[in-house]
Homo-oligomer: A and B are copies of this chain.
Amino acid sequence: MEAVTIKDIARMAGVSCATVSRVLNGSPTVTPELRERILELCRRHGYRRNLLARGLSSGRTNLVGCILSDLDNPLFADMALALERFLRLRGYHLFLCRGRVEDGNIGRLFEFLIGHRVDGIILASSSRQAPELIRRYIQYIPIVLQGGLSDSHPDLDIPSVYVDSEAGGRAAAEYLFRLGHTRVAYLGARENNYSHLARQRGFTGAAERLGMSVRTFSNEAYSSTMEVGYHLARRFFLDPFQETAVFAACDTIALGVMSAAREFHVAIPGDISLLGFDNIIYAGFPHIRLSTLDHQARQVVETAADRLLAQIEHPEAACTQPVMIPPVLVQRDTCKPRR
C-alpha cells in the first residue's frame, strides 16, 4: 500500500533522485541505457509520480480550473467536453467545478482552485457579477471569462471570449424578416445576463429598424431551462396572439416552447415559426429539427482556453482585448415563410 517514491527507485537503480527525476521529465541529458533501466524499475514497481509534490516544488500543476453553473444544460456539457479535449492536447488537465456566480460563496470556489494551485481558471458565465468577481482574483492567478461583457461599460481589463450575441440577435431578426414575419415575440430575456441582454438588444434593435413589432417575455430565473421556456410559452399561448414567429433566448427555452405548443395545439412552424439559439445536440435531432443559431461552442471554448494558456505560459504578453465569435444560422424545420 505504501507508495513507491522517486527515492526508492533511485536507491534500487543506484543513482540519485535527481537522475530519476530527469528521466521522468524526459530530460535528454541521460544515458539511454540508464534511462531504460530506470523506466523499467518504475514500471515493475508501479511507481507513480506524486503530483502534489511535483506541483509544490515546480510551482506548476498543469491543471486548469473551470467554473460553470450547470451541467444539465447540454450546451455546458458540450463545452466541458470540448474544453477537456483541448486541454489534453495541450498537456493540461481539467478541474471542473460547478458554481453559480450569483451564489454567496462562489468566492470559496476560487479560493479552492487557487489553493490547489491550478495554473489558471476559466469562468463560464455571462452574469453581471462575473467581472467584479474576476477582478477580485485575477491578481493572484490568470483567469479568462468565457461569457459576455457589458457593452455600455465593457470591462476591457479582463480577458474574455464569447459568442457575439448581439450579431446573433440581429441575424435572427433579419432572418425572420426575410421570411415575411412582422410581428414576433422574444422569449426568455434575462436581465442579469450580459449575453442575453446583447441578444435581446440585437434582436429588438434590428427588428425595429425593419419595422417589425416585438413583444418580450422575460425570464426572472437565474437559468434558462426547458421548464422555464415551457412556462413562458404557456403565458404566451394563453392569450390570443398576433405574432407569427418566436425567437427563443436559447434552445432549451425553445424546446420548452415546443412542448407547450403541442399542449396548446399550436403547430410549429404551421401556426408559428420558432427560432432558437445555441444549437444544442437535441436541436438537430430528427423529430425536433429546430432552426437556431449555432453557438460555436467548440470554437469559443478553445479560444478561451488558448488565451488562458497563453497567459499562463507567457505572462508578460498580456492582452485583454475581448474576442467575439459570430454565431451561425442553422436553418432547419421550425421556421417557414409566412404565407
Contact = CB atoms under 8 A, between A and B. Distances in A.
Interface of A: 1, 3, 46, 48-53, 55-56, 61, 71-72, 74, 77-78, 80-81, 84, 93, 95-96, 98, 111-112, 114-117, 139-140, 226-227, 230, 258-260, 262-263, 281-282, 285-288
B115 A51 contact: yes
A52 B227 contact: no
A141 to B, nearest CB: 9
Given A71-B77, A71-B80, A81-B71, A52 B116 contact: yes
Contacts of A81: 71-72, 98
- Chain A interface SS verdict (over half): helix
Nearest to A93: B112
A49 to B, nearest CB: 5
Given A72-B281, A74-B72, A286-B263, A115 B56 contact: no
15 contacts: A1-B140, A49-B115, A50-B56, A52-B117, A53-B56, A56-B56, A71-B80, A72-B81, A93-B112, A226-B282, A230-B286, A258-B287, A259-B285, A259-B288, A263-B287
Interface centre among A51, A84, A285, A288 (most CB of B within 10 A): A51
A78 B72 contact: yes
Given A1-B139, A56-B56, A71-B80, 4 more contacts: A71-B77, A72-B74, A93-B112, A259-B288
Contact of A3 (B140, B226, B227, B288): B140
Nearest to A225: B281
A51 B117 contact: yes
Contacts of A282: 226
Nearest to A262: B287
A49 B259 CA distance: 49
A140 B81 CA distance: 28
A304 to B, nearest CB: 18
Contacts of A1: 139-140
A96 B96 contact: yes
Contacts of A115: 48-51
